[in-house]
Amino acid sequence: MNITLLGAGAWGTALAIAFAGKHEVTLWSREEDVAVDLRETRENRRFFPGHRLPDPVAVTTDFSAAIAGADWLVVATPIAGLRPTVERLKALGCTAPLLWVCKGFEAGSGKLPHQVVAEVLGEQAVYGALSGPSFAEEVAAGQPTAVSLAANDPAFAREAARQLHTPRLRIYANDDLVGVEVGGAVKNVLAIATGACDGLGLGLNSRAALITRGLAEIARLGVALGGQRETFMGLAGMGDLILTCTGDLSRNRRVGLGLAQGKSLAQILDELGHVAEGVYTAREVDRLARDLGVEMPISAAVAAVLDGRMGAAEAVDRLMARDPKEELA
């Protein structure tokens, strides 16, 4: 099967490595210098150093050539790049089934990725999301990983999960595209909160409480948007949340740690050198929750800290000062 990865950042490169042993893989890069580096050294020294790209993987900056003959496409850009990428596909008349690995809500519109794709390509398109507890570095290194694949066509979800499954990347088909996307989006916001909690030295009790109550927030929003509650107990919900909140490779967790140290957001993002989707998602989640009347106090606190309306320590104090509630209400 011919698979094209659109985007040669960490995730595009990692998936090209993972799929190369089973499929014919093309990796498209927007940056000419990255493509040259990948072709000449077989390493993405700019975005993903330390991981060798298998020799059979083709690398190109020619978008039309990259998608020509592809059986499936995988968009591996940040969510800000999803709409322009899909618009290019539409302009070229490409109708190949489409997957994406970006997580979040589109800035400004508040749309989930599948809503963006449907808006551009139409409901007749076949598309889906690959999401779950996975760091690109570990996928590229061949560490055992399990994720969910949800699509607008259940038959395609099952077939894609079977085809993309490898001995080290276990993929489970899922029929709840909304739930899978909400879990992948909001966990990044909670990872910022957990990073701040750890950075303030508040202890393991606090971390466990944040993760657990954060999962409740994710589920409330997901159900309000049409997702299935059980999805949030699975890989794309609880699994991804635990990993992103506790793993040192998490960019969003590192944002929280930096905020707790008193660093400015601009300084933190400059030091990261990569996109931390939770920074942009937090504002959209907070706005969406208020519009829907969904109670999400942790997410609201993260948005307030990121916007400079309060400090990390003050946010913790306000959360703890809230009136007692029924846990499962």
Q: pLDDT of 271-287, one tens digit each?
A: 998 888 999 999 999 99
**pLDDT at 325 > cutoff 90:** no
- Are residues 160 and 198 both part of a single domain? no
Of 175, 195, 222, at which residue does a domain stop?
A: 175
Instruction: Please give the pLDDT value at position 329.
Output: 66
Q: Which of 22, 111, 187, 325 is catalytic?
A: 187
Range of the domain at 160: 2-175
Residue 205 counted as domain residue: yes
User: Inter-axis angle of helices 312-320 and 297-306, to 10 degrees?
Assistant: 160
Mean pLDDT of the chain: 96
- Are residues 157 and 13 both part of a single domain? yes
Instruction: Please give the pLDDT value at position 274.
Output: 81
Q: pLDDT of 191-231, one tens digit each?
A: 999 999 999 999 999 999 999 999 999 999 999 999 999 99
| Domain at 305, CATH number | 1.10.1040.10
Q: Which residues contact 65 (CB under 8 A, 6 or more apart)?
A: none
pTM: predicted TM-score of the whole model, two decimal places: 0.95
Of 175, 197, 223, at which residue does a domain stop?
A: 175
Q: Which residues contact 212 (CB under 8 A, 6 or more apart)?
A: none
- Are residues 84 and 213 both part of a single domain? no
Residue 325 counted as domain residue: no
Instruction: Please give the pLDDT value at position 28.
Output: 98
Amino acid at 228: Q
Q: Please state, as a whole number, how many other Cβ atoms lie within 10 Å of the Cβ of residue 90.
A: 14
Using pLDDT thresholds of 50, 70 and 90, give the confidence band for residue 238: very high
Please give the C-alpha separations between residue 131 and each of 151, 173, 305, in angstroms, as whole numbers: 11, 11, 27
Mean pLDDT for the stretch of residues 100-112: 95
Instruction: Please list the residues that pair with 3 across neighbouring strands.
Output: 25, 72
Please check whether residue 102 is in contact with residue 79, taking contact to mean a CB–CB distance below 8 angstroms: yes
Please check whether residue 221 is in contact with residue 294, taking contact to mean a CB–CB distance below 8 angstroms: yes
Share of the chain above pLDDT 70, in %: 100
Residue 7 counted as domain residue: yes
Residue 326 counted as domain residue: no
- Are residues 93 and 193 both part of a single domain? no
- Are residues 224 and 86 both part of a single domain? no
Instruction: Please give the pLDDT value at position 183.
Output: 98
**pLDDT at 328 > cutoff 90:** no
Phi, psi of 83 (to 5 degrees): -60, -50
Task: Report how far residue 1's alpha carbon sits from residue 4's, in angstroms, rounded to the nearest whole number.
Answer: 10
Of 175, 200, 223, at which residue does a domain stop?
A: 175
187 a catalytic residue: yes
Instruction: Please give the pLDDT value at position 321.
Output: 87
- Are residues 8 and 97 both part of a single domain? yes
Number of domains within the chain: 2
Mean pLDDT for the stretch of residues 61-72: 97
